Structure formats: structure tokens, C-alpha cells
Amino acid sequence: MINKKTYKAYCLDLDGTIYRGKDAVEEAAEFVSRLQQQNIEPFFVTNNASMTQQQLKEKMTGFGITAKKERIISSAIAAAKYIKHWYPGKTVYMIGSEGLDQALRQEGLVRVEESADIVLIGLDRAITYDKLATACLEIRKGAVFLSTNKDLAFPSERGFLPANGAITKLVSASTGIEPVFIGKPEIHMLEAIQLELGFSKSEMVMIGDNYDTDIQAGIRFGIDTIHVNTGISSTATVLEKKEQPTFLIENLGYWKI
Amino acid sequence: MINKKTYKAYCLDLDGTIYRGKDAVEEAAEFVSRLQQQNIEPFFVTNNASMTQQQLKEKMTGFGITAKKERIISSAIAAAKYIKHWYPGKTVYMIGSEGLDQALRQEGLVRVEESADIVLIGLDRAITYDKLATACLEIRKGAVFLSTNKDLAFPSERGFLPANGAITKLVSASTGIEPVFIGKPEIHMLEAIQLELGFSKSEMVMIGDNYDTDIQAGIRFGIDTIHVNTGISSTATVLEKKEQPTFLIENLGYWKI
């Protein structure tokens, strides 16, 4: 087992790290349980913006993981916190699903249908031309343009479906304006955790399977990173990258606390 | 008046060349009438894929121009002719409006909702997530990907709205596959005219106001081009381009036949 360093804030990715689709990653579930035995509540950091904290908590319960709801940071939660922190009192035109709507309400933000200060786009499977047109018009009138994440496709029973990054692309292509993305590999979700609980960067670690999102987010934010070989980026692939994670392990069973 | 050359096929752009929004370009209307007095029926070549030939004909009638319906080539008409010529007997999954649907029916093409050989995207103001998802799934399964044009925005009373190129961008971003675009600056509309009526390239000329679409289409197809200073690209701008139109005139009043 490796034990090179201990941290206060363990930030764990979900899909590919804690679970793979409908299956738990056993060693990750045990890792979370070991942390909790030492009174450390980990953070769960996911680009998913469609599900609410409660829905994500219940999904993890199904894998035998007891997560603290307020420590589940989705790109929806982080977007709402980002707006509240950087644009206090500003109004939001939102395209997105229940998870995003609830995150905005949780932070007390006001949604409007026109003359918005901010346009925020998340995955919306009830998208219409009118919603997209309004987003374009508001951005052209000067609204700040935010998007939960840049994921282009996600797997479903039917095959790969268009994800939020693709919907966002329609709006950025039409307006010629690029959004600020909240999700990994951007730093905003990790920053939200830091701002809220006052950790120093040396006390934080980002753990994930995806080099381009999880590991990059940690590197860009300037904290330690642990790559696990349980998901999308194999260890072999990661070893070829110019910027390396702080640690590479096969799975979280190999990390002593 | 300039009369450097006469042609058999005068291919005229519409918006910015024949009319500007709701107003006729007077000299262009007179030019069409002068051609017709010499028994030359011009072609009208527009990236618009939403309106039918009949609707475009009626619009021109309002400006005092009598156009032959079958000589109005929209990107919808050209897309249908392109499919019929290059993919005879193949089925089409279509996103688009009445103009595109009618163009497909006119060429006897068969629309399907799944297992399509071809995915064709045109501007659709009744777009849904499900339509976009189906397009992505069919393209990932191997369907040929076509799009009427790459226009990113179009003016409306509310402001600039997302156009077909932006909708197409969603699908190409999500699938990682770029479509074949039918509209100008691609050559397919001019090619459709040539294939159908057997002109040689030296008998054809493309006339338009937009350097990036009209003039580029003519240059790429290898025919003469006439730039008119009545629309989007000013003569001054065009003179700075590396590849020059064959002729530059202020308006079509200056062109003797």
C-alpha cells in the first residue's frame, strides 16, 4: 500500500472512480469507508449536472457508500455557487434539467426568461429551438455565458447521445462567444470546495480515472492528484502525458490512509 | 456599362443581390428583365433551405421579378438532387422544415426515422433533443452526414437567431464527424445546375454580394464570378482578398448583356 501523504480534502470523481455505470468499484467503496472510520468525509466531484445531490447520494447508497449530501459537488452545484460568489444578485436565464434548477434555487438565485445578466447552459433533454434562440439573443445582448461542462456525448442504452458540451457548441458557434465552463478540467468545482471550507491547496487531493478531466482539473488548480486505473484513461496512456499526476495507482485499495 | 463576356447560365444569389430583406435591389430586377427579353432565364441560387421554390418565387414576384420556379435552386433543392445523383435509392433521416421535406419528395427520395443511409440537416425551428439524438446515433452507425449550409445565424425581428450551421455544429461536435455542406461556398448547387442542363463551365457565371459564399462558390467550381456592391461584402473588402472575382461592379445596372 502507498501512503505518501495524508490530506484533509479527498475529492473523488464518480463515474469510473466510485462506480462504473451500474457497478460499484469495490476498492473505492472500501476506501470511502476507511476514510469515514477516521472521521474524514470525502468530497464527490462530478461533471454530471442533471442529477440532484439527493439523486446522486441515493445512487451511491445503492453501491454501499454513505455520502454526505452537501459534500457531493456536481457541475450544477458548482455553477450555482460560482454565480453566487462572482455575480451576487445577478439574474440567470437557464437551459437545463431538474438538477440545475434545484442547484440555483438552493443558492437563492433568481431565474428570468429575458433580460438576464447570465446565461447558464446544462444538459436539457427537453431542449427547444426557442430556448436556444433566447440563449443566443441574451448572450448577444451582453449576458455572461456559462456552461456546466464540455462533455460532448454520453452513453445510453441507444448509444452515445449528445451531451451538454454539444448543446453549448450550438450557442457558441452561433454567437461567436465562448462560455466559461464550470466542470472539470476547469478548476471551479475544486475552487468551490476550497472557498467554502477554507482548505489550503496542500491539504487537497483530486482522485480520478479520467486524465483529461479529473487529473487536469487538479493540476490546473495546483493540488495533488491521484490517478486510478479503474476507468477511462489507462495507466499506460497517462504515463505518456507530459504533465504527470502526483501518484498513479491501480485502484484505491492500494492507498493507505 | 461593362460587357466583357456573355454567358448561357447566369446564376444569381438572392439576399443582398436580388433583394435586401424586404426591399428589391432595383438594378437587379431590371437586369433579370433585360435577360428575359433576350430569352435567357436566369438561375437563382440561395443557401436558404426553409422556403419552397414556390415561396421563393412568390417573394420575388413581390419585387416585380418573374422567376421560373424550376430555376430557383435552394440548398434544399440542391441537397435532394445531390442525394439522388450520388446516392440513388438511399434512405434519408431528415431534420428540417417544409422546404427541405418538399425538395426530398420532389426528387422521389424516401424518408425514414431509423436505419437511414443518409442524415440530412437543415434549419428546423421545431428541433427537439430526440431529433438531434437520432441524427447523432444514425451518423455514429455509419450514415452519410449532409447539411444544407453552414450559416451560423440569421437576422430576425428579435435579433440574430441560430441558423442551420449552428444546429449542425451540435451534431458534428457530439459525433466527431464533419458533414458535407451543400450550400455556397461549396460547389454543389452550381454543380446541380451544370449536371441538369449540361452547360460547360465557361458558359456559367456566379453573381453575388457575399465574397465568402457566392464568389467563393464560383471560384471553387471554376466558373466566372461577378461581385456586386449591394450587400454584405463591400467592394473595398473584396479588393483585399487574395483570390479576386472575375469582375467587380457597383450593381447589375452596370452590366450590359
Q: Chain A within 8 Å of B112 (Cβ-Cβ)?
A: no
A109 and A87 share one domain: yes
B218 and B192 share one domain: yes
Confidence of residue A21 (pLDDT cuts 50, 70, 90): confident
CB A181 within 8 A of CB A62: no
Q: How far is A157 from chain B (nearest CA, A)?
A: 11
Could you give the CA distance from residue A45 to residue A192 in angstroms, rounded to a whole number? Answer: 11
Render B133-147 in DSSP notation, one character per residue.
HHHHHHHHTT-EEEE
- Note whether residue A193 is domain-resident: yes
A166 and A94 share one domain: yes
Q: Identify which of B55, B142, B50 has the alpha carbon closest to the alpha carbon of residue B101.
A: B50
- Note whether residue B56 is domain-resident: no
Question: What's the distance, CA B183 to chain centroid?
Answer: 5
A30 and A120 share one domain: no
Confirm or deny that A141 is annotated as ligand binding.
Answer: no
Question: Which residues on B lie below 8 Å from A119 (Cβ)?
Answer: none
Asked if B176's CB is within 8 angstroms of A137's CB, the reply is no
**Beta-strand pair B118-121/B159-162:** unpaired
DSSP assigned state of A118: E
Query: What is the arithmetic mean of pLDDT over A90-98?
Result: 96
H or E segment to which residue B55 belongs: helix B53-61
Chain B contact probe: residue of A95, A128, A129 with most B CBs at under 10 A: A129
Q: Go through A13-25 and write b for each residue having 16 or more CB atoms within 10 A of its CB, e for each that does not.
A: bbbbbbbeeeebb
- Note whether residue A153 is domain-resident: yes
pLDDT of residue B225: 98
pLDDT of residue B2: 62
Could you give the CA distance from residue B62 to residue B256 in angstroms, rounded to a whole number? Answer: 25
Q: Any catalytic annotation for residue A212?
A: no
By CB atoms closer than 10 A (0-12, 13-18, 19+), residue B167 is: buried
- Note whether residue A214 is domain-resident: yes
Domain of A104 in residue numbering reads as 76-181
B163: phi then psi, degrees, rounded to nearest 5: -105, -175
B171 and B224 share one domain: no
Question: Which residues on A lie below 8 Å from B143 (Cβ)?
Answer: none
B204 and B221 share one domain: yes
Q: Report the largest interatomic distance among the alpha carbons of chain A, rounded to a whole angstrom.
A: 56
Q: Chain B within 8 Å of A174 (Cβ-Cβ)?
A: yes
**Beta-strand pair A23-24/A19-20:** antiparallel
> If you measure CA to CA, which chain B residue comes closest to A154?
B174
A172 and A189 share one domain: no
- Note whether residue B190 is domain-resident: yes
pLDDT digits (tens, 9 = 90+) for A127-147: 999 999 999 999 999 999 999
Q: Using the 3D structure, point to which of A117, A149, A181 is the last residue of a domain.
A: A181
pLDDT of residue A53: 93
Question: Which residues on A lie below 8 Å from B132 (Cβ)?
Answer: 127, 162
Could you give the CA distance from residue A25 to residue B217 in angstroms, rounded to a whole number? Answer: 55
pLDDT of residue B49: 85
B131 and B176 share one domain: yes
Query: What is the arithmetic mean of pLDDT over A53-69?
Result: 95
Could you give the CA distance from residue A58 to residue A112 in angstroms, rounded to a whole number? Answer: 31
Residues 6+ apart with CB under 8 A from A215: A206, A208, A225, A227, A233, A238, A245
Confirm or deny that A209 is annotated as ligand binding.
Answer: yes
B22 and B97 share one domain: no
> If you measure CA to CA, which chain A residue comes closest to B174?
A152
Q: Tell whether the model's pLDDT for residue A174 goes beyond 90.
A: yes
Q: Chain B within 8 Å of A129 (Cβ-Cβ)?
A: yes
Confidence of residue A5 (pLDDT cuts 50, 70, 90): confident
Q: Any catalytic annotation for residue A13?
A: yes
Confidence of residue A50 (pLDDT cuts 50, 70, 90): confident
Could you give the CA distance from residue A99 to residue A108 in angstroms, rounded to a whole number? Answer: 14
The total domain count for chain B is 2
Q: Chain B within 8 Å of A136 (Cβ-Cβ)?
A: yes
DSSP assigned state of B125: T
Chain A contact probe: residue of B150, B174, B178 with most A CBs at under 10 A: B174
Question: Which residues on B lie below 8 Å from A137 (Cβ)?
Answer: 158-161
Q: Could you give the residue numbers annotated as active site of B?
A: 13, 15
Sign of dihedral through CA atoms B244, B250, B254, B257? positive
pLDDT digits (tens, 9 = 90+) for A177-218: 999 999 999 999 999 999 999 999 999 999 999 999 999 999
CB B252 within 8 A of CB B28: yes
Q: Using the 3D structure, point to which of B181, B214, B244 is the last residue of a domain.
A: B181
Asked if A163's CB is within 8 angstroms of B141's CB, the reply is no
pLDDT of residue B155: 81
Query: What is the arithmetic mean of pLDDT over A37-66?
Result: 94
pLDDT of residue B22: 84
pLDDT of residue A1: 58
CB A206 within 8 A of CB A218: yes
Residues of chain B under the 70 pLDDT cut: 1-4
Q: Using the 3D structure, point to which of B153, B181, B209 is the last residue of a domain.
A: B181
pLDDT of residue A22: 85
Asked if B133's CB is within 8 angstroms of A128's CB, the reply is no
- Note whether residue B108 is domain-resident: yes
A216 and A167 share one domain: no
Q: Which of B159, B166, B171 is opposite residue A137, by nearest beta carbon?
A: B159
A177 and A194 share one domain: no
Asked if A152's CB is within 8 angstroms of B140's CB, the reply is no
- Note whether residue B204 is domain-resident: yes
B170 and B194 share one domain: no
A97: phi then psi, degrees, rounded to nearest 5: -110, -170
- Note whether residue A234 is domain-resident: yes
**Counting one residue from A and one from B, how many pairs have CB atoms under 8 Å apart?**
92
Q: Chain A within 8 Å of B153 (Cβ-Cβ)?
A: yes
* CATH, residue A223: 3.40.50.1000
Task: Give A158's Cβ-side CA count (13 Å radius).
Answer: 14
Q: Identify which of A69, A90, A165, A83 has the alpha carbon closest to the alpha carbon of residue A124.
A: A165
Asked if A124's CB is within 8 angstroms of B127's CB, the reply is no
